[in-house]
Structure 1
């Protein structure tokens, strides 16, 4: 089972028990769950956690809402990066496979009070898309937990006091350096807990999870604040900060485009047969810890297919003037498109009045909307 499924399973169950919200990520940003640390019994009540995850939940239950927030921002960033592609990170409400069947291979039967009757969740494929999802969600968890530690919303962690080399002349250490090592540890310990099988998929997932976390560490930067008369910046205090998460999303999207195709090799060790990955093409540079890896070919995502995890592109909005993947020719897979008109109310004829406000009229404008057949 992929770690994203268990993040979803944890918070979907918790939301059903504690509130009436229909989708799991509503809990991630709700203040009513800030008291989770006083309810450790919840961890043992969650079905499906492996012992390592259960111990982690009990030890760090206070930051579990930040874990949910991290998965949420990972989903949002994935949907932004793929918004104009055939596969656009579509999520399924109340389903364990939150990105659809595209993520793993096999069928998993869930026997849980959540599903009546039990629901079979189809998850499939070790593709580029799966590699990106693992990386961006793992990065999102590390990012959200690190930020929660720095802003004080989590009391079991705080600022990073290790990163304090001798500063250059004209500035000194100050503020709260974000402890990305702790955030990465949380992501690694919980997310990778199930990736301990000696098979290729676990090896792929572990690699891509770590690639996402490393992307956060590699993009930390020195953020400074000036002090002095009239903003003269005679002295600066500086601290290590994470970048905007969009920077991470853009970076991981580049890694998706250049992901390394691997092949599976089997060999015997003392513990039995073990699967490992090696690059398919030896004349290319082997992947580093920052690169994404995959070993199965992606479907074209043109038609709905539960076996491949494709939702198809029918009724998707396309760009009639674009020659790229978001254009009606490519996005609609040659099936053609429909056109309809929509009326939208917008502000218009805005005038600035001295001093100091803007007045606008409301206009109705007609737009052509193109959708795939």
Structure 2
């Protein structure tokens, strides 16, 4: 798990440009501590990547019973959802192995790789830069230029730092490693050419192209689909020279065996309807719901059959906007009344 990244994110956001003190970050295993000290220059990007993963998780699950509220900037992104953190009063049961845990590991691991790769391409670190491999023969009508993003380096950083804690011979470590890698692989699979046109009046006679990462929202959408189709596994034990080792096997043999790009889990999820400190569920009371929807974000499902309350809310909005030549827009301010529905 990534317990330490909570402290890293907190320290970096509170200190701004001040240096990160690796020794003051609680929860680092020795390998992570060495990594932090050896590569201190890119640790802010690691923290930024975790934050990016948190935000994407909250976006993807905004209409679900579990909406990622147990994962905030001041929580251990690679901790409380996965391993109980001493700094958190309400967190997931220790070592939960659910679909939600699988998604969090994947999206956070992808976030770290993404942020480090972007930081290198922007030139904010002296220890990495552009991808020099993409300087071969150009295609028809375009040539190599700009800064190709070195996603392989970002993936390496994420793997070295994130997987450092997952060295136990148990099923949970095997699950975490698999889902971490699935998240990182998503970036490599979706690298693409991005081009800029050149020529008179934007005629695009010649294009300059470089290798670029996809938009992170697209990666989040992809991983959300993987969450919906995640493979349930069972734990098997066998003895090796180092002792008992736990591995994972697909629960249903007649289904396609999960690939390295699929998410895996081996514990069922709670229904998240009621608050439960043991599972990290805050329940759905007072959550806004969509009264006209029959989906999971609708009041019937989101409120778990308890019903909903309705209140009116006044909001100030811009209205009656007019474009003036040239060139500005003037608007009036209107007060509109909305019905707001929340779960009982």
> Are positions 1:361 and 2:332 aligned together?
yes
Post-superposition CA distance 1:232-258 (Å, at most 9, x none): 222222110011100100000000000
> Are positions 1:133 and 2:143 aligned together?
no
Greater mean deviation of Cα atoms: 339-348 or 166-175: 166-175
Please provide the CA RMSD for this pair.
2.1
User: Which ranges in structure 2 are unaligned for 5 or more consecutive residues?
Assistant: none
**Equivalent in the alignment of 1:32:** 17
Rounded Cα–Cα distance in structure 2 between residues aligned with 1:281 and 1:95: 38
| Aligned counterpart for 2:66 among listed residues 84, 87, 91 | 87
**Equivalent in the alignment of 1:10:** 8
> Are positions 1:144 and 2:115 aligned together?
yes
5 Å-filtered alignment, 1:295-306, equals 295-306=266-277
Contact 2:9 2:73 (C-alpha < 8 Å) held by counterparts = no
Greater mean deviation of Cα atoms: 352-361 or 149-158: 352-361
| Aligned counterpart for 1:53 among listed residues 27, 32, 44 | 32
Contact 1:226 1:232 (C-alpha < 8 Å) held by counterparts = yes
Contact 2:78 2:105 (C-alpha < 8 Å) held by counterparts = no
Post-superposition CA distance 1:78-136 (Å, at most 9, x none): 111000000000036686445885434xx56x5xxxx6xx9796534200000000000
With normalisation by structure 2, the TM-score equals 0.94
Post-superposition CA distance 1:202-236 (Å, at most 9, x none): 00000000000000011110011122223222222
| Structure 1 SS opposite 2:248 | strand
Contact 1:10 1:46 (C-alpha < 8 Å) held by counterparts = yes
> Are positions 1:348 and 2:319 aligned together?
yes
Rounded Cα–Cα distance in structure 2 between residues aligned with 1:335 and 1:94: 31
Post-superposition CA distance 1:131-178 (Å, at most 9, x none): 000000000000000000001111211000013343222222111000
5 Å-filtered alignment, 1:190-201, equals 190-201=161-172
Post-superposition CA distance 1:28-77 (Å, at most 9, x none): xx7524xx3xx7xx223434322211111111101111111101110111
Rounded Cα–Cα distance in structure 1 between residues aligned with 2:16 and 2:7: 20
With normalisation by structure 1, the TM-score equals 0.87
| Aligned counterpart for 1:68 among listed residues 7, 29, 47 | 47
Post-superposition CA distance 1:308-359 (Å, at most 9, x none): 2211000000000000000000000000001111111111111222222211
Rounded Cα–Cα distance in structure 2 between residues aligned with 1:233 and 1:336: 58
| Structure 2 SS opposite 1:267 | strand
Contact 2:233 2:265 (C-alpha < 8 Å) held by counterparts = yes
1:120–1:351 distance in 2 versus 1, CA, 3 Å: closer
Contact 1:320 1:328 (C-alpha < 8 Å) held by counterparts = yes
**Equivalent in the alignment of 1:206:** 177
